[in-house]
Homo-oligomer: A and B are copies of this chain.
């Protein structure tokens, strides 16, 4: 009996191996893509290899549409015309259509360099729509079109003007600094000739390139870069779900989400149980697919419970599970109601969501009802693993820290008002240039923010001596000493 049984099982094993082989048979690529691959496999083998490992090389739109609604990563109603049965290859995204100002003729085909959310939207339409409501999609304009933030930007990027002061920053410095994450404006400046192995080639010369900033202003008029998180040309959901991806722009003391995550229990579990994570699974189930959340679990991903019932819908708005905006300007405040924050004007007529007295520019911010709804969404995520007592206790503590850090910011700001009144610093040049002002900025931009992030994610090691409460108090004490001990000059 046994040998027969063995052989039967062996046959089954072989059959399953056969199935695996069949799956490995990649879908066909378009003729245009094949032409791209023929040269670029040699010219830029790294990105071709990355693409070959990607879902785009393995799954056609038609295959994607066959999946269940919850499992699907394809959200358009229908496949792009003519592409249903093809792999999503080079030319499917770099198709050089007329919408793209950077389209150019390349070995007999129109192609464009800068792939944008509008390109991705042909298959991932819902995500693209959600992202338009994401404050991040406006990150370029939210910085560049806000005269008040512009002063801060100049205090960081300005160059010595030879007269003891500092002039405006040059475009390359901006692109290497704030706009690296916020996104540059990419424009076609003209053409450049490249002497390649295949002879001379005329290619477009782009301003602000390279850049994969999340709010990039693209030559097709769209905003953003999906590649900020979904690294090209692998575009892996697993990578986007990993905290290291978010760390690219969220590790500095102004938004230290990653540093806090690292010292949180969630971060410690991720670091030590990585093998247990199925980061490719859609939909995603707490406990089964991930022992503890990554950034994406709480802020982005579609989550289901153990019965397959939706716990939280996928969102690329990313703040729609968040009530408070922890990023103080200078105070933490309810999230802006719309993504374009350059429209916000406070009582003093400046483009801040709060006033120096700590009050909110409420008409531009979400109200209490929305705050409660967003918090309720997030609490539902927490309760996948935590009891209501745990979750409510954590939220009460977090809300308290939002208030106390705002109080400490107010204490510092009141001292600065005295300093400005006494002439110890001159606010006319912006409020960010002079040593005393810089202490004040660090108080709220670095240390109050850090303390709040630490409270939100239970990473107290960072929020006390790491980069938090100790330094808030230090800045306050130093400002106090200067203001109280110095008479008006």
Contacts and interface: CB of A to CB of B under 8 A. Distances in A.
Interface stretch (A117-125, A335-343, A364-372, A395-403): A395-403
Given A159-B408, A231-B268, A268-B231, A175 B397 contact: yes
Max chain B CB contacts within 10 Å: which of A251, A460, A474?
A460
A177 B234 contact: no
A484 B434 CA distance: 13
Q: Which 5 A-B pairs have the closest CB atoms?
A: A49-B287, A46-B385, A180-B460, A244-B271, A46-B287
A210 B396 CA distance: 10
Interface in A374-430: 383-390, 393-394, 396-398, 400-401, 404, 407-408, 410-411
Nearest to A210: B390
Query: Could you say how many copies of this chain the assembly holds?
Result: 3
Nearest to A154: B473
A172 interface: yes
A463 interface: yes
Contact of A464 (B45, B177, B212): B177
A156 interface: yes
Given A407-B160, A474-B435, A181 B7 contact: no
Interface string A432-447: 0111001000000110
Interface in A180-238: 180-181, 192, 194, 196, 203-206, 209-210, 212, 231, 234, 236, 238
A459 B166 CA distance: 24
Contact of A477 (B408, B433, B466): B433
Interface stretch (A8-16, A19-27, A314-322): A8-16
A458 interface: yes
A263 B286 contact: no
Contacts of A251: 262-263, 461-462, 466
Nearest to A309: B42
A389 B219 CA distance: 15
Contacts of A42: 305-307
Given A172-B397, A253-B466, 4 more contacts: A172-B401, A239-B268, A251-B462, A252-B464
B263 A245 contact: no
B401 A176 contact: yes
Nearest to A48: B287
Max chain B CB contacts within 10 Å: which of A166, A251, A401, A407?
A251
Contacts of A404: 159, 170, 173
A103 to B, nearest CB: 14
Interface string A234-262: 10101100101101111111100000001
Interface in A250-282: 250-254, 262-265, 267-269, 271-273, 276
A67 to B, nearest CB: 23
A428 B209 CA distance: 47
A177 B460 contact: yes
Nearest to A14: B6
A154 B47 CA distance: 49
A176 B170 CA distance: 43
A155 B458 CA distance: 21
